[in-house]
Copies of this chain bind each other. A is one copy, B any other.
Amino acid sequence: MNASRGVTIADVAARAGVAASTVSYVLSGKRSISPATAQRVMDAVAELGYHPHAGARSLASRRAGVIAMMLPLRDGMHLPVLMQFASGAVTEARRHDQDVLLMTADEGPAGLARVAASSIVDGLILMDVEVRDPRVEALRRLGLPSVLIGFPADAAGLTCVDLDFTAAGRECASYLIGRGCRDIALLGASEVVYERRTGFAERVRGGFLARGEACDHAEARPCPDDDPVSVQRTVKELLAARPELTGLAVHNEPAVPHVMHALADAGKLVGEDFHVVVIGPDEVGERVHPRLPSVLVPAERLAEIAVGHLMRKLDGFDVPDSTLVEPQLTVR
């Protein structure tokens, strides 16, 4: 056992009394090997604690056994979701015997070119894709197998996975209606969000309003998210316009506490005569009083699906271009 220099396939072969190629075939299953021989090889592998040299393997087989995951680590992303995502991706990748290389989005297109050209990874998961994302263009050019989380403007030929926002809007409306509300409203995202991800906010709105047809009145309005005062004004205006309003969905994380404040000021007893539900990647609902039900991004599922799709692509199978994941409505 040559501990300092590492156990090679030759060591295993010698120990099992076979050729190196036979060991390789036992391990990969790419040719049939007699059970007796296979067993001897496996024993030798176990006894020597053999693990194939990743570099040699990737050189010979043109498969690195590693996928890259590019996360927007630098700016103020929703951390918990990102972690869930990373955790889910690593776990799922390991189930497929792959490792995960972590990249930050600020490596940008050049980073993609680098990992692609150096064959250090077999494929790529790109998180938090924006509508106009320079990385998407680079990706298409490189031809590196990939799965995106989120939808760019031109998704042709790409595999994308995302939350089904229409369903999220619908779920919120359903929840409120289920609580007996007959007049409901959606406070939407701020302008910035609309710019960053076209469709994303609109889809929530669409789902909400469609389901809202079932009650007396349903409407949606945008909501600023930067300063407390304008949020509160927005809420006041809404309440003034719709005195019968009893259900509110908020699709705007930073605004939530201020909305709650404004409702309290207006004498609304949330959870009793008035109902609020939140759509947000974070557990915003947890942080306010009373706790609010919320529609979460099922980050772990998204990651699983993304990695699963990528694996299938790497194995040459087809996967759907677009996969929408059902949101989860959590009631506290």
Contact = CB atoms under 8 A, between A and B. Distances in A.
B102 A69 contact: yes
Interface in A277-307: 287
Interface residues of A, number: 43
Contact of A55 (B55, B104, B113, B114): B55
Interface in A49-96: 49-59, 64, 66, 69, 73-74, 77, 79-80, 82-83, 86-87, 90-91, 94
Nearest to A75: B87
B51 A118 contact: yes
Interface in A107-143: 107, 113-115, 117-120
A53 B287 CA distance: 48
Contacts of A82: 79, 83
A326 interface: no
A238 interface: no
Contacts of A245: none
Contacts of A104: 87, 90-91, 94
Interface of A: 6-7, 49-59, 64, 66, 69, 73-74, 77, 79-80, 82-83, 86-87, 90-91, 94, 99-104, 107, 113-115, 117-120, 287
